[in-house]
């Protein structure tokens, strides 16, 4: 693990040169996997994440089926080579927790009632980790679900906010995440409905509301990139296939 830096912000700039409200660069590639129903490869700073979605498909064993809705399953996994110290393969307390909160982030948006007895399986593989992998995973999963054509209320966009050197900052890098005063990963719909919120560290009530405001700004920026990636991929494909192939659903938020 790297050492705690003496200062996180010098002359208004963070350790990697960003301002307090700036995201790390994000790169999105849709459908990189041939065998998944939907997939997305996402880079966020030095994080490298692959998301694959399968389904809706019959859920086995059958006693786990829900007669009234689809079951959303989410598996977050870190590759052994994704961090400095090799990760032991298999589940850990951390991966079980992140898988649970990842699933919860999508329960509200996926129209599960359309597909009783089935499962929608979301797999997140962290190939390289550099803080913010749970939020990067949620962003990639959201796009992989859309790529698989799973009906949803809208995209989910996520980012972390936190506190370093007494200031609220957007999208924590590794040193800020590991040694900062607070880390708050958040996911929300484009309409601002929060589907995931965790908090590590301490914030006053005022700081918490300031952090929420900044998270909304961050999630809006992520949402625009996600939407842009979908439009670029599918507009191109539909233009080739003719107007009739255009989907009726709009990309956006159908919260109500």
Instruction: Quote the least distance from Cβ 131 to ligand CDP, whole Å.
Output: 4
Residue partners of 207: CB distance under 8 A and separation at least 6: 163, 168, 182
* Listed ranges 57-65, 83-91, 105-113, 188-196: which one lies at the site for ligand CDP (CB under 6 A): 83-91
- Residue 171: C-alpha distances to residues 15, 66, 184, 205, 209 (Å): 13, 37, 9, 20, 16
Minimal CA–CA distance to 14: which of 130, 163, 200? 163
Crossing angle for the helix pair 93-107 and 133-147, to the nearest 10 degrees: 40
Instruction: Quote the least distance from Cβ 82 to ligand CDP, whole Å.
Output: 8
| Residue 134 near ligand CDP by CB under 6 A | yes
* Listed ranges 33-41, 65-73, 104-112, 129-137: which one lies at the site for ligand CDP (CB under 6 A): 129-137
Strand, coil or helix: 170: strand
Instruction: Quote the least distance from Cβ 85 to ligand CDP, whole Å.
Output: 6
* Listed ranges 104-112, 128-136, 212-220, 228-236: which one lies at the site for ligand CDP (CB under 6 A): 128-136
| Residue 181 near ligand CDP by CB under 6 A | no
Minimal CA–CA distance to 37: which of 156, 137, 157, 119? 119
| Residue 59 near ligand CDP by CB under 6 A | no
Among 33, 87, 194, 197, binds ligand CDP (CB under 6 A): 87
| Residue 132 near ligand CDP by CB under 6 A | yes
User: What angle (nearest 5°) sits at the alpha carbon of residue 106, between those of residues 147 and 183?
Assistant: 110
* Host H or E run for residue 128: strand 118-128
Binding site for ligand CDP (CB under 6 A): 83-84, 87, 94, 129-134, 174, 177, 185
């Amino acid at each position: 693990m790297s050492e705690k830096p003496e200062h996180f912000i010098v002359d208004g700039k963070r350790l990697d040169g960003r301002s307090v409200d700036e995201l790390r660069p994000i790169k999105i590639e849709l459908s990189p996997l041939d065998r998944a129903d939907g997939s997305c490869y996402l880079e966020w700073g030095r994080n490298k994440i692959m998301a694959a979605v399968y389904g809706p498909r019959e859920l086995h064993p059958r006693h786990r089926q829900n007669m009234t809705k689809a079951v959303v399953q989410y598996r977050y996994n870190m590759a052994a080579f994704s961090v400095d110290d090799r990760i032991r393969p298999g589940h850990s307390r951390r991966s079980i927790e992140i898988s649970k909160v990842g699933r919860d982030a999508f329960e509200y948006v996926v129209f599960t009632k359309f597909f009783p007895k089935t499962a929608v399986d979301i797999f997140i593989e962290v190939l390289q980790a550099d803080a913010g992998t749970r939020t990067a995973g949620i962003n990639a999963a959201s796009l992989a679900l859309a790529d698989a054509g799973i009906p949803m209320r809208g995209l989910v966009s996520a980012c972390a906010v936190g506190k370093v050197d007494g200031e609220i900052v957007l999208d924590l890098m590794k040193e800020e995440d590991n040694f900062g005063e607070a880390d708050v990963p958040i996911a929300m719909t484009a309409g601002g409905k929060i589907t995931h919120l965790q908090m590590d560290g301490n914030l006053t009530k005022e700081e918490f509301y300031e952090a929420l405001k900044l998270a909304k700004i961050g999630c809006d920026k992520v949402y625009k990139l996600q939407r842009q990636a979908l439009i670029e991929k599918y507009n191109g494909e539909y233009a080739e296939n003719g107007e009739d192939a255009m989907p009726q659903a709009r990309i956006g938020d159908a919260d109500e």
